Amino acid sequence: MNTINDQVRRHPFFAGFPEELFQGLRLCANHVTYADGETIYRQGDHAEVFFLVQTGRIALELQAGHQGTVIIQTISAGQMLGWSWLFAPFRRQFDARAVTAVTALALQAECLRHQCDLNHHLGHELYRRFSNAVVASLQAARLQLLDLYGREPFSAHRGARRR
């Protein structure tokens, strides 16, 4: 059987996830696809889902005003996108855009959050996975934002955009 639940369970994000917890887990998931170049969400959007990417690649972008668009991170197949739903006010912090065709599983956050509140064991397992992703993107963002006041801010990104 290749139900949506099976696909979620097989996704690397859930690797090592205790089977008994998964059995009790009510998933509110559906398939989504995005075309090359399509916006998945924008900064300020209400964050109600997170994505388990199955194929393709997604860019997390920051619109840096006169400095153009800065890709701060990319998310590829096997990775998770979007953790703004974890904390109030549940708003996206960056733009996410498909840089190739993307297929992903979209999981309704509110439904999961509620179950985590009721079952802390489940919450711990899920939050541990999200923390990993959060720390990774934080480290990346720090490195990229180092030169905000420098002589050539974002020069590495801008080189390719000049015309």
Partner 1 sequence: MKAFCMHPAVLSQIMDILHSRGYTIIGPKVRSSAVVLDELVSSNQLPLGWRDHQAPGVYTAGKTSNTGFFQTTCGPRSWKWYLYPPRARLFKVRPENGGPRLDRAAQPAVSYAFLGMRACDLKAMEILDGVLSRQVFQDPDYQAVRRKLFIVAANCLQPGQTCFCAVMDAGPRARSGFDLVLNEICEPGRNDFIVEVGSRRGMELLSAVNCPPAASEDVDRVRRMADEAAAIMRRNVQLTANGSLFEARFEHPHWNSLEQRCMACGNCTLVCPTCFCHTIEDGGSLIEHTAERWRQWDSCFNLAFSYIHGGSVRSSIASRYRQWLCHKLSTWQEQFDISGCVGCGRCRTWCPAGIDLIEEFQMLIGHNPQNRYPVFSPESKEPSLQENER
Partner 2 sequence: MSHPMDPCWYRIQRRIRETADTFSLELADLDTDRSVDFAPGQFNMVYMVNVGEVPLSISGDPQEPRLQVHTIRAYGTVTSAMQALRKGDIVGLRGPYGTCWPMAELEGRDIIICAGGIGMAPLRPVLYAIMARRQSFGKVVLFYGERTPGDLIYRRQMERWRGRFDLEIMVTVDSARQEWRGNVGVVTSLMTHLQIDAATTSALLCGPEIMMRYAIEALSAQGLEEAQIFISMERSMKCGIGLCGHCQLGSLFICKDGPVFNYQKVKHLFHRREC
In angstroms and rounded to an integer, the radius of gyration of the C-alpha atoms of the chain is 17
Q: Does 147 bind partner 2 (CB under 8 A)?
A: yes
10 Å CB burial of residue 9 (0-12, 13-18, 19+) is: middle
The interface mask with partner 1, positions 51-70, x = CB under 8 A, is --------------xxxx--
Q: Does 162 bind partner 2 (CB under 8 A)?
A: no
Q: Between 65 and 159, name the residue whose CB sits nearer to partner 2.
A: 65
Helices (H), the chain: 4-10, 19-24, 109-118, 120-144, 155-161
Q: Interface residues with partner 1 (CB under 8 A)? A: 35, 37-39, 65-68, 152-154, 158, 161-163
Binding site for partner 2 (CB under 8 A): 62-69, 145-151, 153
